Structure 1
C-alpha cells in the first residue's frame, strides 16, 4: 500500500505540472479533465499499467531530489512521464483511477515491483 500512496502523491505533483502546461485560459472551478474521465481498471491495459508504473517510479525519484527547485522538478517529471511513452493526461487519468480502485492499485504495485527488480538485477550485473 505504501507504494500506491507514493505513486498517488507523485502523480498529484505531476498533475500540477501537466495541468499548468494545459492552461491556456483562466482556470475554471470545475473538476480537472483527468478526474472526470478516469478509466476503470478493466479499461486500462497491462501495457498502460506497466508504463504508468515506470513513469511513477521516475516521478517519485525526481520528487525526492532535494537539489532541484519545484519548477525544475515539475519539468523533469513531465519529461519522465513522456519518455515512458505516456501523455501527462493519460498518466493523470490512471493516477486518479487508481486512487479508488484496489485492483488497479495492485496491478500498479506488481508492475512497479517488476521494474525495481529489473533495475536491481541490471545494477548487480554491472549495467547501470
Structure 2
C-alpha cells in the first residue's frame, strides 16, 4: 500500500487543532453573585439553546469589555452588559456558569462553533461524512500530529512514514477515503467544526 501523503496530513493536522477558547470573564451584575457551594457544571450540563443565548450575550458583553482596557466599567457600561445578558434570555447566574465552564472546557466553544457553522452542501463529500467516520478520522489525526511534530523539514523518515501509514490503516478508514475526508475538512467549515468538536470531546475525555 502506498504511503499516505505527509503534506496533506500536516495540513489537516493544523486545521484540526481545536480553536483555543476565548478567555471568558464572568459577568456579575451589581448585587448578584454566582453561588459558590454548588459544584461547577460541565459542558454536558448546558443545552444547545442555552449556548446559543450565551453566544449572543457574550458577543455583546465582550464588545463592551474590550473598550475597558482593564479599567472598571462605568455604571452605564455595567448596565449595558447586564442588558445584554438579560435580553439573551439567560439569568446572570446561568450566564456566569457557562462562562466559567467555557474557560475550563474547550467543548463549550466547540459546541457553539459547530452550531453556528454552515451545513455542508448536499451531495458533497463533507455532507456524506458520518459521525462514526469522522471520529475515526480525528483519532487517526491525533496520532498523525504526534508523528508530524517530529518531522524535520517536511521530510518524514522511513520509520515516520510507517507510523503515518499505520495511523491511517488502524483508523478503519481506507487511505483514499481518509484523504478525501482530510480534503473536505480543510475546505468545509461545517465539517471542520464537527471535527473540532469531536477532537475537543476526545481531549477532555482523555484528561479525566
TM range (shorter): 0.5 to 0.7
Normalised by the size of structure 2, how large is the TM-score? 0.40
Q: Does 1:94 align with 2:104?
A: no
For 1:97 and 1:50, how far apart are their aligned partners in 2?
15
**Greater gyration radius:** 2
Give the number of the structure whose residues are more often helix, by fraction: 1
Q: 1:79 to 1:34 in 2, by over 3 A?
A: farther
How does 1:86-125 map onto structure 2 within 5 Å? 86-110=90-114
Instruction: State the aligned residue count.
Output: 96
Deviations 1:54-89 (A, max 9, x none): 0000111122347xx622111110111000101111
Q: Distance in 1 between matches of 2:110 and 2:55?
A: 11
In structure 2, the gaps of 5 or more residues are 1-18, 119-208
| Contact 1:81–1:87, Cα closer than 8 Å, also in 2 | yes
Give 1:113 shift: 6.8
1:61 is aligned to 63
Structure number with higher relative contact order (C-alpha < 8 Å, ≥ 6 residues apart): 1
Matches of 1:22 and 1:47, distance apart in 2 = 23
Match of 1:4 in 2: 22
The counterpart of 1:22, out of the listed 27, 32, 55, is 32
What's 1:119 paired with?
A: none
What are the Cα deviations for residues 73-106 of structure 1, in whole angstroms up to 9, with x where unaligned?
A: 1111011100010111110011011111111121
Q: Does structure 1 conserve the Cα–Cα contact (< 8 Å) formed by 2:21 and 2:103?
A: no
Cα distance, 1:94–1:76 mapped onto 2, change above 3 Å: same
> Superposition RMSD on alpha carbons, in Å?
2.7
Partner of 2:40: 38
2-side partners of 1:70 and 1:59: how far apart?
14
